[in-house]
């Protein structure tokens, strides 16, 4: 009877430990750090290659979109207008993406100082104002 309990306990641990490990590694891999433009600049080269999110406002006059519309270049700044970060995004541009609006880009900063965004999320204004 005691041997059956030990076997059951060992079998349970054998099944549970890999699940705990997979959950832990999935959680660590999915975590992404959020920065403002100036906070990202403070990190320097220590974050090259790391996937991060950066919040900022789209700078007027910085938006360049190629003819096919799949490659977008623009710059973002902090809410106070401090710092500037050039962004290169490849993908579908959200309808709410506009100059002056707040955006969140997720991707990696390369050694050239250009942020390679894989995800672009345009935030909607909290209050809609008539045109």
pLDDT-based confidence at residue 114 (cuts at 50, 70, 90): very high
Q: How far is CA 125 from CA 61, 97, 102, 116, in A?
A: 20, 11, 8, 25
The number of beta carbons lying within 10 Å of the beta carbon of residue 47 is 15
Q: Are strands 85-90 and 102-109 parallel, antiparallel or unpaired?
A: unpaired
Query: Average pLDDT, whole number, for the chain?
Result: 85
- Write the pLDDT tens digit of every residue in 99-111: 888 999 999 999 8
Full-prediction pTM beyond 0.75? no
Q: Are strands 52-58 and 33-36 parallel, antiparallel or unpaired?
A: parallel
């Amino acid at each position: 009877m005691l041997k059956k309990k030990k076997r059951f306990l060992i079998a349970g641990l054998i099944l549970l430990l890999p699940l705990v490990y997979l959950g832990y590694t999935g959680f660590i891999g999915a975590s992404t750090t959020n920065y403002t433009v100036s906070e990202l600049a403070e990190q320097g080269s220590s974050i090259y290659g790391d996937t991060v999110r950066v919040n900022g406002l789209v700078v007027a006059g910085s938006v360049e979109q190629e003819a096919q519309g799949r490659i977008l270049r623009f710059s973002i700044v902090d809410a106070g207008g401090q710092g500037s970060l050039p962004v290169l995004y490849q993908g579908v541009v959200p309808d709410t993406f506009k100059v002056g609006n707040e955006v969140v880009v997720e991707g990696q900063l390369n050694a050239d100082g250009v942020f390679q965004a894989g995800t672009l999320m345009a935030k909607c204004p909290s209050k809609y104002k008539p045109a």
